[in-house]
Amino acid sequence: MNHADGQYLEAKRTVDDRALDRRVRDRFLDELPAAPRIREAAAGTGVTVPRLLDWGVTAGDYVGVDRDADVVALARERRASECGGEAITDGFRVDDLTVRFEQGNALTAFAGDGADCLVAQAFLDLVPVDDALDAFVDALRPGGLVYAPITFDGETAFQPDHPADDAVVAAYHDAIDAEPGRDSRAGRHLLDRCRARDGDLLAVGASDWVVYPPYPADERGFLATILDFVAAAIEGRVDGATDWLRTRRRQLDAGELSYVAHGYDVLYRVPG
C-alpha cells in the first residue's frame, strides 16, 4: 500500500473536509494560544495549512514533516501556490504564519521542540500508538495539544451489497494488522491509550469517510486507490476476490459505488 502517493493525498482532501468533526475542531481552536507553534507529523501534501488559515490561524509557526521526499516537495509547491505569501527556505510565509515542510521521521523529528500543538491526521493507524504518543509528549511543551483527526478505526463498507463483502473486509483489515506497527483499530486504541495516560482527553468525535456518487472533485480517483489498497490485500487470499474487484471497479466506473470508513478525531492535552 502506498499511502504517500501525492495524487491520492490530494484527492482525499475533500473527503477529509466532510469528515472532520466540527466540535473537536472547535475545541482544538479554542485551546490554541495566539500565534501557536504547530508541528504536524506525517503532513503529506500539507493540506492542514490552508485549513488552519481558513479556521483563522493566521499567525505563528508551522512545521510539517513527512518521510516521503516527493510528497514534501509537492507540499511546498502546491501549498505555496494555493496560500500565496512570500517564499522562505523550505516553505513560505503568509499573513503572520511561517510554514515549512521538511523530510524526516515524524516520531523523532520534533523531539525537544516545546511546541504548542502536534497535529497527526490519518497517521496513527500506521505506527504504534504508544510510540507516537511518547514522541508527541517529547515534542510538546507541558500542557501542549495532540490533535489527531481521521484516525482509522476498523469499519469499512462498500455498497451495493456483494456476497464476498464480509470476507473481503476481514481480509483487508487482517492485512493492515499484519504490517509491522499498523493497527486497523487505531482509533479506539488511541482513546484507550490517552485515557490510560496522565493528560486529558479533551474531545472525541467520529470522522467517517463517506464517498458516494456523483463523486465530487477527484473522489472517483480516491476511491480507485482505495480499491487498489483492498486488491493488494485480498488477491489470492479470498474466494471470490476477482469477481468482487471486477464488480467494484465496474460500479465505480458507472458511478454506483459508495464507500464508508470509520474514523475518530481526538484532542488530547499532555500533562502540564
Ligand X SMILES: C[S@@+](CC[C@H](N)C(=O)[O-])C[C@H]1O[C@@H](n2cnc3c(N)ncnc32)[C@H](O)[C@@H]1O
**Binding footprint of ligand X on the chain (CB under 6 A):** 3-4, 9, 42-44, 47, 65-68, 71, 105-107, 121-123, 126-127
The residues near 60 (Cβ < 8 Å, ≥ 6 apart) are: 34, 35, 36, 37, 38, 96, 97, 98, 116
Nearer to ligand X by Cβ, of 6 and 164: the residue is: 6
Minimum Å gap between C-beta 94 and ligand X is 19
Q: Are 208 and 261 in contact (CB under 8 A)?
A: yes
Minimum Å gap between C-beta 29 and ligand X is 18
Nearer to ligand X by Cβ, of 47 and 175: the residue is: 47
Minimum Å gap between C-beta 44 and ligand X is 3
Nearer to ligand X by Cβ, of 96 and 177: the residue is: 177
Phi, psi of 223, deg, nearest 5: -70, -35
Minimum Å gap between C-beta 67 and ligand X is 4
Nearer to ligand X by Cβ, of 134 and 166: the residue is: 134
- Cα distances from 22 to residues 11, 12, 16, 36, 178, in angstroms, run 21, 18, 12, 20, 33
Nearer to ligand X by Cβ, of 105 and 258: the residue is: 105
Q: Are 164 and 238 in contact (CB under 8 A)?
A: yes
d(CA 178, CA 31): 37
The residues near 84 (Cβ < 8 Å, ≥ 6 apart) are: 92, 94
Minimum Å gap between C-beta 54 and ligand X is 16
Residue 128: what residue type? P
Q: Are 30 and 147 in contact (CB under 8 A)?
A: no
